[in-house]
Each structure stands twice: as structure tokens, then as C-alpha cells.
Amino acid sequence: MLNALRPALTRLLTPVADALARTPVTPNAITITGTAGMVAGALWLFPTGHLFAGTMVCTAFVLADMLDGVLARVKGTTGAWGAFLDSTLDRIADAAVFAGLTIWLVRTHQEGLAWVALFCLVAGMMVSYAKARAEGLGIACNVGVAERTERLLIALVPAGLTGLGVPYVLAIGLWALAVLSVVTFGQRVDAVRRGAAARPVPPVLAGNPGRDHGGEPDDPRS
């Protein structure tokens, strides 16, 4: 839903990218730095109860997730390796945020909410995997009410407010995110189902129904 803001953010970051384009800094270096910063902030500050500081650090480094792409376009160095690295490190950064929150919740004896945070972590991975697998099959899957930007926003804003002493907001945010992640996963599964139904069946699959679209034999026990 927040993808509509990307053009505005891109225009905002373009002058920074233009300046960096005149230096040896590469988009991949920004990607790695941004991920390292998020992981350090989330796994150091969140577990120790510095939720507001952790939110500020993570938010600052989230901007690197957009800056690397803008810099790549300015330098003309976009490619498969950069896209793969960016997507893969995004998963690591996301995992660090929810792992840090989970550790803090366990340490503060909020085990029930810790399970919700852990569920959000797993559900977010499944949402991202669904899109990646769909695109690997050549099916568009740009749908969902809670894409990565929304998921981080719903997690980090309540975490920061909790750090400022606002009660109950983290619980509301995590429960809302858990529900929205399930809805988004369902939307993507449905989009792939409809996309696959609209495509002709390749001859190799039509003649070999015992294999799925990934080329692996179906398990007769499933």
C-alpha cells in the first residue's frame, strides 16, 4: 500500500545518490551497511529494552534499502546480483527486528506476546517467499495489504512508542500485523492460483501430472 510513496522518496534520495555516484561507494556496499546497521540496532538495543533508540536506528538504516536502488540506477549498475543481495539481506534485517523484539518480550515476561512476534517473523518470511516463488514461475504477485514496508512500519512505530512509555500499543501492533500478514499471504496465494489458471499448461507438465510446477515429484503421502 505504501508503494505509492516510493516515487516521492526516490526524488528525495536522488540528490544523495547523485553525490554518492561521484565516489567509490557502491550500491552493494550500501545494502550491506544498511543490513548490518539494522541487525546491530535490533539485536543490541531491542533486547536490552532501548526500544525507542532501536526504532530510530532501524528506521535510519531502512532508508538505505531505497538508497541502494536509487544509486544503482544513477550509476547504471542494476543487475541480478544486486537484486538478489538486496532481497536476501532484507530477510535478515526483518528477522533481526522481530527476533530482537521477541527476546525483549521474553526477558520482560511477556511470553504470550513473544509468540505473536515470532509468528509475525515467520508469517513475514512466508509472505516474501510467496512473491519470490511466484516471480520465479513468471507470475506477477504484487499484491497484499502488508508488504515489507508496511510490516516494518507496523512493528517499528509501536515499538518506538512503547519505548516512550505508551501502554498496550506494541501488543495492538503485533496482533494487527499477525492478522494482516495472514491476509497478505492469502492474497498472494490466490493471485498465484488465478495467474496459474490463466496460463496454458506446458506440454511437459500436461504429460507428466506426477510433477509439480517446481519440477519435483509429488509426495504420495501429501
- Taking alpha carbons only, the member of 156, 131, 159, 160 closest to residue 143 is 131
HSE-CB at 20 with a 13 A cutoff on CA atoms is: 21
- The C-alpha atoms of residue 109 and residue 120 are separated, in whole angstroms, by 19
Q: CA 167, CA 182: separation in Å to the nearest integer?
A: 25
Cα distance between residue 67 and residue 77, in whole Å: 13
CA–CA gap between residue 152 and residue 20 (Å, rounded): 26
- AA letter at 23: T
Could you say which of 68, 86, 90, 94 is catalytic?
90
Let me know if 219 is a catalytic residue: no
Active site residues: 90
